[in-house]
């Protein structure tokens, strides 16, 4: 534990979130009482923030705001729920339970797969919240710590093919998730009618601390050569190192993160720093040490600078690393070699080493709903009814039907086709494109993302086709604001919302997800963006060397300067 005298603790007035966490009685606040307040569809005072630690965000439909205001109605308050699914794996039985709530019980009726391998319900009304948590709990699912200043849903490469290492790595993702969870019984008490404990003062949070973390914290387990989880978006990543199909340990990466504020040079995306290799017996101790070091040294006065990436820049990478070694009672050895080659999912069927088959379904922006032309939600239910394996949610917002025995393969494929879950027309460009939720539900959105993506991708597809590059793709991502939830700041072309129909355009990330892109167009209209991309794609088609990716091309040709140390050169 550090003390106030520790020179590495940022002095100053604590942010208001610190007060509310301290006064929350271990995340209880008055959420329970608030549930009975039917004067509002939302939560009052501090509870608005505290419900996030329980996996919920208060929202309203921004498309309807102006009209309701005209009618002198308050915004239609509702809740978004984000579940906790370490590694994104669930059983068909769980899928059926999830589905049974989404339909009639939510305003939007969808199951939304997220960029962090879980699902969200949008538009749950307050009176339905408790029933929702109880239904999920019965299915073995909770939403503890999927938001708020805690360690969030732990990612794990959703690779069902090299299944021996996958299984071992996935077990670690689950263990890390459990180890770093808040210990408070608040969730069980409020949502599951769990017994109230005698004195919350006695409840301890040995890892997260009474005031929890200074800011959200994200962890991933990755199995090279895939980088589907985008390690550089995470505060802490474990890179699986294996020998003869047996996991031997992990390289540890610390301090990645993507969010920034437009024009604020004190905020920037950052690649994670390599700390070195650890053996398996040290995983939990190192995870805990990274979290507690960030807990004690992270900036609690300025939330914009509170994430691990800023702590690392402020105290120095070596200082942070040595503190982790001290706390974990270990030393990192030199990192083991590994290479990332791709980030996308392998859409379609692949055969695993266990003679089982795995079908990756491309889900446009992760939105599972019965659309007029394709009943995706019903299709998933029909598959779940007969599927003996499991489902895997990917960090690219897709869904894997994993572990299908050979004799069920045709039947599952037929259902998927009948419901529009498989399409012959799916280009590699669409597979490699991604958007965050944005409007209408996200309160922070500045421009469209999910709703603009299909049209934007069609334009990019046409440009590729006109240049004889139909089999090629560009990692193309749209985020509705600079928080970058679709990881646009690790894309080869990243659009980041600036205002209605206006985006900043970042170029020069690479296909492996190991380079931050650079600002190329500021506050550009959709038209300007597309005409600029048209010119650049043409140049790329003519001047590329071998199979050079678009991001590598724009950096080599100095169309944008390479971002090497983003703390210094991202904004220049
Ligand atoms: Fe995110 C906030 C959606 C992945 C960085 N994110 C939000 C909120 C909750 C808006 C809010 O605070 O009220 C969005 C809800 C929209 C909605 O209506 O659903 C939201 N984020 C999402 C999801 C659903 C996007 C998606 O299309 O899939 C992803 C849910 C992940 C999950 O299951 O946990 C999602 N968010 C990300 C990622 C990508 C990642 O983690 O791999 C990032 C960038 C990586 C990073 O953290 O640096 C990301 N979201 C943020 C931030 C900026 C944090 C920061 O460092 O400043 C915010 C705003 C905040 O925390 O203050 C934010
Ligand atoms: Fe909302 Fe911005 Fe995240 Fe998109 S990037 S979901 S607009 S917070």
- Asked whether 479 lines ligand 2 (CB < 6 A), one says yes
- Asked whether 120 lines ligand 2 (CB < 6 A), one says no
Please name the helix (run of DSSP H) or strand (run of DSSP E) that holds residue 418, with its range, or none.
helix 409-418
- Asked whether 549 lines ligand 1 (CB < 6 A), one says no
Query: CA-to-CA distance for 239 and 234, rounded, in angstroms?
Result: 12
Query: CA-to-CA distance for 125 and 163, rounded, in angstroms?
Result: 40
Distances (CA, A) of 248 to 74, 240, 243, 278, 340: 56, 8, 7, 9, 18
Query: CA-to-CA distance for 21 and 46, rounded, in angstroms?
Result: 9
Domain ranges of the chain: 1-6+149-180+194-344, 56-143+347-426, 429-569
Active site residues: 82, 152, 216, 218, 436, 442, 481, 485
Nearest alpha carbon to residue 95 among 375, 322, 372, 390: 390
- Asked whether 481 lines ligand 2 (CB < 6 A), one says yes
The residue nearest atom 56 of ligand 1, judged by CA position, is 259
Q: 347 near 362, Cβ under 8 Å?
A: yes
Distance in Å, CA 484 to ligand 1 centroid = 7
- Asked whether 440 lines ligand 2 (CB < 6 A), one says no
Of the options 3.20.20.70, 3.30.413.10, 3.40.50.300, 3.20.20.10, the CATH number for the domain spanning 1-6+149-180+194-344: 3.30.413.10
| Ranges of the chain whose pLDDT falls below 70 | 1-4, 162-163, 196-202
Query: Tell me, what DSSP letter sits at residue 362?
Result: P
pTM given for the model: 0.97
Determine the 3-state secondary structure of 313 from DSSP.
Answer: helix
Nearest alpha carbon to residue 392 among 558, 152, 537, 228: 228
Q: How many helices (H) and strands (E) does the chain have?
A: 18, 20
Distances (CA, A) of 164 to 192, 203, 493: 36, 39, 35
Phi, psi torsion values for 135, nearest 5 degrees: -65, -45
CA 314 to chain centre: 25
Query: CA-to-CA distance for 284 and 280, rounded, in angstroms?
Result: 9
Query: CA-to-CA distance for 383 and 402, rounded, in angstroms?
Result: 11
CATH topology identical between 1-6+149-180+194-344 and 56-143+347-426: no
CA 79 to chain centre: 19
Query: CA-to-CA distance for 447 and 93, rounded, in angstroms?
Result: 37
CA 158 to chain centre: 14
Q: 563 near 508, Cβ under 8 Å?
A: yes
The residue nearest atom 30 of ligand 1, judged by CA position, is 114
The residue nearest atom 37 of ligand 1, judged by CA position, is 485
Say how many CA atoms lie within 13 Å of 494 toward its Cβ.
32
Top mutation candidate among 53, 267, 483, 517 for ligand 1, by most atoms within 8 Å of CB: 483
Question: Can you point out the beta strands (E) in 315-388?
Answer: 348-351, 357-361, 367-368
For the CA of 439, the nearest atom of ligand 2 = 7
The pLDDT value recorded for residue 4 is 66
Name 476's Cβ contacts closer than 8 Å, sequence gap at least 6.
429, 432, 433, 434, 456, 457, 460, 491, 492, 493, 494
Q: 330 near 286, Cβ under 8 Å?
A: yes
- Asked whether 405 lines ligand 1 (CB < 6 A), one says no
Q: Which residues partner with 237 through β-bridges?
A: 220, 253
- Is the domain spanning 56-143+347-426 CATH 3.90.480.10? The answer is yes
Token digits of residue 80: 């978004």
Query: CA-to-CA distance for 34 and 30, rounded, in angstroms?
Result: 6
Q: For the chain, how many residues are written?
A: 572
Q: 403 near 356, Cβ under 8 Å?
A: yes
Query: CA-to-CA distance for 534 and 385, rounded, in angstroms?
Result: 45
* CA dihedral sign, ordered 498, 504, 509, 515: negative
Ligand positioned closest to the Cα atom of 233: 1
- Is the domain spanning 429-569 CATH 3.30.413.10? The answer is yes
Distance in Å, CA 113 to ligand 2 centroid = 14
For 202-243, the three-class secondary structure string (H helix, E strand, C coil) is: HCCCCCCCCCCCCCCECEEEECCCECCCCHHHCCEEEEEEEE
Token digits of residue 184: 């408070």
């Amino acid at each position: 534990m550090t003390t106030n005298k520790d020179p590495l603790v940022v002095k100053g007035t604590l942010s208001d979130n610190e007060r509310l966490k301290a006064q929350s009685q271990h995340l209880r606040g008055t959420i329970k009482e608030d549930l009975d307040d039917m004067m509002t569809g939302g939560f009052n005072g501090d509870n608005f923030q505290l419900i996030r630690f329980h996996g919920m965000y208060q929202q309203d439909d921004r498309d309807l705001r102006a009209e309701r205001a005209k009618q002198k109605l308050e915004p239609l308050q509702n809740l978004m729920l984000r579940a906790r699914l370490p590694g994104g794996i669930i059983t068909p039985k769980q899928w059926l339970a999830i589905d049974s709530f989404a339909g009639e019980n939510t305003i939007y009726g969808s199951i939304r797969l997220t960029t962090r391998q879980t699902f969200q319900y949008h538009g749950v009304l307050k009176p339905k919240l408790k029933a929702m948590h109880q239904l999920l709990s019965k299915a073995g699912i909770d939403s503890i710590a999927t938001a708020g200043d805690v360690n969030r849903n732990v990612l794990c490469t959703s690779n069902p093919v090299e299944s021996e290492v996958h299984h071992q790595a996935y077990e670690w993702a689950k263990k890390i998730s459990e180890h770093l969870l808040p210990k408070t019984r608040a969730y069980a008490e409020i949502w599951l009618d769990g017994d109230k404990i005698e004195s919350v003062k006695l409840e301890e949070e040995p890892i997260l601390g009474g005031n929890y973390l200074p800011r959200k914290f994200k962890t991933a387990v990755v199995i090279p050569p895939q980088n589907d989880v985008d390690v550089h978006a995470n505060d802490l990543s474990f890179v699986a190192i294996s020998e003869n199909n047996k996991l031997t340990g992990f390289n540890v990466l610390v301090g990645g993160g993507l969010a920034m504020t437009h024009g604020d040079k004190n905020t920037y995306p950052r690649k994670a720093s390599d700390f070195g290799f650890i053996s398996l017996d040290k995983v939990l101790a190192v995870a805990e040490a990274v979290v507690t070091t960030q807990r004690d040294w992270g900036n609690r006065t300025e939330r914009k600078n509170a994430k691990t990436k800023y702590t690392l820049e402020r105290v120095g990478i070596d200082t942070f690393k040595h503190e982790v070694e001290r706390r974990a009672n270990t030393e990192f050895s030199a990192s083991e070699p590994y290479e990332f080659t791709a980030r996308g999912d392998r859409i379609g069927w692949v055969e695993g080493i266990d003679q089982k088959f795995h079908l990756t379904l491309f889900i446009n922006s992760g939105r599972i709903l019965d659309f007029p032309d394709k009943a995706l939600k019903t299709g998933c239910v029909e598959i779940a009814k007969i599927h003996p394996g499991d489902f895997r949610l990917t960090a690219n917002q897709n869904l894997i039907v994993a572990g299908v025995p050979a004799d069920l393969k045709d039947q599952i494929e037929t259902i998927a086709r009948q419901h529009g879950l498989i399409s012959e027309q799916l280009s590699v460009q669409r597979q490699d494109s991604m958007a965050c939720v944005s409007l209408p539900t996200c309160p922070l959105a500045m421009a469209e993302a999910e709703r603009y993506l299909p049209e934007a991708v069609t334009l990019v597809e046409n440009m590729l086709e006109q240049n004889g590059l139909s089999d090629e793709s560009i990692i193309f991502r749209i985020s509705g604001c600079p928080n970058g939830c679709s990881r646009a700041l690790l894309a080869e072309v990243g659009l980041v919302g600036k205002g209605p129909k206006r985006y900043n355009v970042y170029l020069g990330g690479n296909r492996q997800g190991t380079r931050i892109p650079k600002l190329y167009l500021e506050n550009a209209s959709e038209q300007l963006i597309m005409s600029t991309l048209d010119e650049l794609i043409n140049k790329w088609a003519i001047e590329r060397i071998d199979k050079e990716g678009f991001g590598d091309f724009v950096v080599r040709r100095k169309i944008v300067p390479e971002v090497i140390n983003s703390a210094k050169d991202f904004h220049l």
